[in-house]
Amino acid sequence: MDTNDLAPAYAALLARALPDGSFAVAPGAAARPDATAWAALALYAAGRAPDAVAGARKALAEAQRPDGRVPILAERPEAAWPTALALLAWRPDPALAGPVRSAAAWLAGHPGATWPKSEGGIFGHDPSLKGWSWIDGTHSWVEPTAQAMLALSALAEPPAGALAEAGRMLLDRQLPDGGWNYGNTRVFQNTLLPIPECTGHALAALAVLPGGPPRQAVAKSLAYLAGPECAAATPLAAAWRAFGLGAYGQAGPEVLGNLRLALARQDRYGPYDTPLLAQLLAAAGSGGRFEALWGGGKHDTA
């Protein structure tokens, strides 16, 4: 996807780089690891500002704890979900193989909390299946699971067993009529509704499994994500609609054009926070191909 016309948006992103290489979470704000990682991924996917990418990777390495995690805040080490994003940002640089290994080991050793499934429970999903969580020691949810899967699948030797179980967990959380939300299918007797960005996360993550899921297993979810109800030109919906459909070769002109519409809405609503801006640019710069964010090859999801 030609991104020359997005030069002002990339310039706005680069303006948030701080002297230590990290990126502010918003104009004039302090740095945050997720902002830094998404900025590195977006710039790398577009082949822009290699010095800024290198600086961001270095800042993430300095934020990494000795046990491999990268917490969202230094004072909240349990909130370590940015570890997956940092791993992806480091992955293309052989000099950062050490931080990649440490991050992968931490992720592999810290899946979401589980417990046995009981019939007739309050919620509909199987809580015995392991994925990943937002906060260490808590239950698995769709988005952190998808981000961890995308990161671990980028390794030279992905942990096949953990990825396969996480794939089963995502399929178990798929809603009966297609799509995903944050990770519940039913509460009491009420079937919950899907959310575009959660659906895009899950579809992109399932596509990285060897061979990908059978098309019939996700057909309803692909139809939901491709439909008009998901065509909102908002940052997360537009970006993850592109990544989710792009993983199956379905990120066409309308889907990619929606990224530009979302970026243009800053003229009306003001600048997006850095993670939102960078995710939109990452989707645009990669044409919806998530693997382009870390230099990987295209997965076969037929």
Residue 168 counted as domain residue: yes
SS (H, E, C) 196-211: HHHHHHHHHHHHCCCC
How far from chain centre, in Å, is Cα 192? 22
Which pLDDT belongs to residue 2?
60
Give 151-204 pLDDT, tens digit per residue.
999 999 999 999 999 999 999 999 999 999 999 999 988 999 999 999 999 999
Q: Which domain holds residue 142?
A: 4-293
Rounded distance between C-alpha atoms, residue 155 and residue 163, angstroms: 12
Interatomic CA distance for residues 41 and 55, integer angstroms: 12
> Is residue 54, in this structure, part of any structural domain at all?
yes
CA-to-CA dists, residue 277 to 8, 12, 27, 140, 187, angstroms: 12, 9, 11, 26, 33
Residue 300 lies in a domain: no
Residue 175 located in a structural domain: yes
Q: Does residue 236 belong to any structural domain of this protein? A: yes
Q: What is the pLDDT of residue 141?
A: 98
> What is the number of domains present in the chain?
1
Whole-number Å distance between alpha carbons of 61 and 122: 42
Q: Classify burial at 296, counting beta carbons within 10 Å of its beta carbon; exposed 0-12, middle 13-18, buried 19 or more.
A: middle
The model's pTM is 0.95
CATH number of the domain enclosing 211: 1.50.10.20
Instruction: Indicate the pairing of strand 186-187 with strand 190-191.
Output: antiparallel
Candidates 89, 116, 115; CA nearest to 103 is 89
Give the mean pLDDT of 240-247.
98
Does residue 88 fall inside a structural domain?
Answer: yes
d(CA 177, CA 235): 24
Mean pLDDT, the chain, as a whole number?
Answer: 95
From CA 88, how far away is CA 290, in angstroms rounded?
10
Q: Is residue 9 part of a domain?
A: yes
Per-residue pLDDT for 300 more than 50? no
User: What's the CA dihedral at 103, 277, 30, 91 to 10 degrees?
Assistant: 20
- Report yes or no on 77 lying in a domain: yes
